[in-house]
Amino acid sequence: MNKQRILIGIAVLAVAIQFIRPAKNQSEGVSANDITKHYEVPADVQKALKVSCYDCHSNNTTYPWYSNIQPVGWWLNHHVEEGKDELNFSEFASYPKKKAAHKLEEVAEAVTDHWMPLDSYTWIHKDAILSDQDSKAIATWAKALQDSLAK
């Protein structure tokens, strides 16, 4: 009887948490501070950034179906918030030049050393795995933009 009450309690809790959902990271259109509105981003780099980076590093996340299941949705929301705190391409133009240059240095390092995108992301999002060509294009673009901001 005691085990049955515990199981019922767990089931009720599991259903109840489904109604506590984090706000979605989705905005209308492109932000006025979006990197593409202020700096030249080659088409191949922009495509790679959108596929491999923007879910966690912009104001527009494309959510998978399982993000509607709690506590997975909470975990994803936390992950996206951490990503945006670290770098947000949608708000990039609002960064002071020194910070922007440093972020670009980190972008180049992250793709060159292959620690971004995260393995936990690419396990499910196979299309987000950067080819060597994509990594090189992003790193080259980031370094060039970094240099231009230093002037």
Q: Which domain holds residue 62?
A: 2-150
* Tokens, residue 136: 């090189």
In this structure, which amino acid lies at residue 50? K
What pLDDT is recorded for position 1? 63
Domain count, the chain: 1
Rounded (5°) CA angle 9-18-119: 110
What pLDDT is attached to residue 125? 92
Looking at residue 12, its pLDDT comes to 81
Amino acid at 111: V
Reading the block at residue 120, the tokens are: 């936990």
Cα–Cα distance for residue pair 72/18, rounded to 1 Å = 10
For each successive 10 residues of the chain (151 residues), what is the average pLDDT?
84 80 83 94 97 96 89 90 96 96 97 94 93 97 94 70
> What is this structure's pTM?
0.86
Structure tokens at 26: 């989705």
How far CA 60 is from CA of 31, 51, 98, 135, in Å, comes to: 10, 12, 25, 22
pLDDT of residue 107: 97
